[in-house]
Homo-oligomer: A and B are copies of this chain.
Amino acid sequence: MDFRSDNTAGAHPAILEALARANRGTASAYGEDPVSARLAQRFNELFEREVAVFPVATGTAANALSLALYTPPWGAVYCHPHAHIQVSECGAPEAFSAGAKLVSVQAGPLYSLGKLDADAVARAIHREGAVHAVQPAAVSISQPSEVGTLYTPAETAQLAELARRHGMVLHVDGARFANALVALAASPAELTWKAGVDVLSFGGTKNGCLAAEAVVLFQPERARELAFRRKRAGHLLSKQRFVAAQLEAYLEDELWLVNARHANAMAHALADGFSALGVRVLGPVATNQVFAELSPCASATLRASGFQFYDWPTLGPEARRFVTAFDSRKADVDALLEELAGLRAAH
């Protein structure tokens, strides 16, 4: 009964089966194998255009490689102050870019929704063209955001337009891209390049893979450089086929969408249950994360009964985060709500 994060889940059985399939026979190392070749083709179809895809084992690698490709050492990356790249990657984007600056944009009407606002970004740009200041290089958003909210294609396009005006690219951290996709009922193309996105960190791990993410370049002419960057960062596996195989299985038979729909549905069930019980849900629930207010006493009781979840102090002293995953069980959601109902009744 683990609601801590979608990365405490294991891998979907179909992913493990794909590994076993990929294990038959020898194959050229370092991504020169047939599975990797098929995957490249598969991503072209998925995004309805030519893309360049670079599978890697971690989201941090995908984000840092994406940003480093487009951000010179004297570049600025504009992001939300709670962005994963800003607070949870131990400075990886700075490392991969040889010292670029991540500028937190702490303003605008979307700020409290965990989202970046194009006008606020515009105001944060500082001394453009002057040699004294780092220069606009990239805007980076998380889709869904770190609090599970979503950018509409229109909002994304606004950011892309702003980026274009200042010679920047638009990067999307899609660690939970599938959850956004099914929630917005949009196509991968609509959420990305059709809305002006230049580079996407395509997540698989949180939604059923074992360790599989990918950098997706919508400017495939930049692929050569990224190939050297990936290798040099130690993120080209020798038996690279095993990362490609995960992503191939992830996309097969819509596994990724099925998984994401399930996780989102579990989050909605949880949120609805909370509301019905009078528990305050913080912010809209759009994907697979629920933030809710629970007293220390209620939290402690739930935890004593085996429910796991995190405190989330940035949203308030009694805020707690519940994340659902592809394998969250409805029975666990119900059990949690029942326990909570009992608690309420007891008072």
Mask, A232-246, CB within 8 Å of B = 1, is 111111110011000
Within 8 Å by CB of A7, from B97, B101, B233, B239, lies: B239
Q: Which residues of B contact A225 (CB under 8 A)?
A: 72
Kindly state the separation between the CA atoms of A159 and B89 in the bound complex, as whole angstroms: 27
Whether A134 and B95, one on each chain, are in contact in the complex, defined by CB atoms closer than 8 angstroms, is no
Within 8 Å by CB of A228, from B58, B90, B238, B243, lies: B90
Whether B95 and A99, one on each chain, are in contact in the complex, defined by CB atoms closer than 8 angstroms, is yes
Whether B30 and A131, one on each chain, are in contact in the complex, defined by CB atoms closer than 8 angstroms, is yes
Q: Which residues of B contact A341 (CB under 8 A)?
A: none
Whether B231 and A211, one on each chain, are in contact in the complex, defined by CB atoms closer than 8 angstroms, is no
Mask, A64-108, CB within 8 Å of B = 1, is 100000001110000000000001111110111111111010100
Identity of the chain B residue whose Cβ is nearest the Cβ of A102 in the assembled complex? B101
Q: Which residues of B contact A25 (CB under 8 A)?
A: 10
Whether A60 and B228, one on each chain, are in contact in the complex, defined by CB atoms closer than 8 angstroms, is no
Within 8 Å by CB of A26, from B10, B30, B100, B210, lies: B10
A11 within 8 A of B: yes
Q: Which residues of B contact A99 (CB under 8 A)?
A: 91, 94-95, 97-99
Q: Which residues of B contact A104 (CB under 8 A)?
A: 104
A28 within 8 A of B: yes
Whether A100 and B94, one on each chain, are in contact in the complex, defined by CB atoms closer than 8 angstroms, is yes
Query: Which residues of chain A from 208 to 253 have any CB-CB distance to chain B below 8 Å in the complex?
Result: 210-211, 225, 227-239, 242-243
A196 within 8 A of B: no
Within 8 Å by CB of A238, from B56, B135, B206, lies: B206
Kindly state the separation between the CA atoms of A133 and B232 in the bound complex, as whole angstroms: 9
Q: Which residues of B contact A230 (CB under 8 A)?
A: 131
Identity of the chain B residue whose Cβ is nearest the Cβ of A225 in the assembled complex? B72
Known: A90-B131, A132-B89, A133-B90. A95 touches B232 (CB 8 A): yes
Kindly state the separation between the CA atoms of A231 and B95 in the bound complex, as whole angstroms: 11
Identity of the chain B residue whose Cβ is nearest the Cβ of A230 in the assembled complex? B131
Kindly state the separation between the CA atoms of A88 and B227 in the bound complex, as whole angstroms: 14
Q: Which residues of B contact A23 (CB under 8 A)?
A: 10-11, 16, 210
Whether A233 and B74, one on each chain, are in contact in the complex, defined by CB atoms closer than 8 angstroms, is no
A150 within 8 A of B: no
Known: A29-B7, A74-B228, A135-B228. A58 touches B91 (CB 8 A): no
Q: Which residues of B contact A90 (CB under 8 A)?
A: 74, 131-134, 228, 231-232
Identity of the chain B residue whose Cβ is nearest the Cβ of A57 in the assembled complex? B57
A20 within 8 A of B: yes
Mask, A6-25, CB within 8 Å of B = 1, is 01111100001001101111
Q: How far is the CB of A112 from chain B (nearest CB, A)?
A: 17
Whether B29 and A5, one on each chain, are in contact in the complex, defined by CB atoms closer than 8 angstroms, is yes
A287 within 8 A of B: no
A61 within 8 A of B: yes
By CB atoms of chain B within 10 A, which of A28, A95, A230 has the most? A95
A144 within 8 A of B: no
Kindly state the separation between the CA atoms of A142 and B133 in the bound complex, as whole angstroms: 18
A49 within 8 A of B: no
The list of the 5 closest CB pairs from A to B, nearest first, reads A61-B234, A94-B99, A98-B98, A60-B234, A7-B238
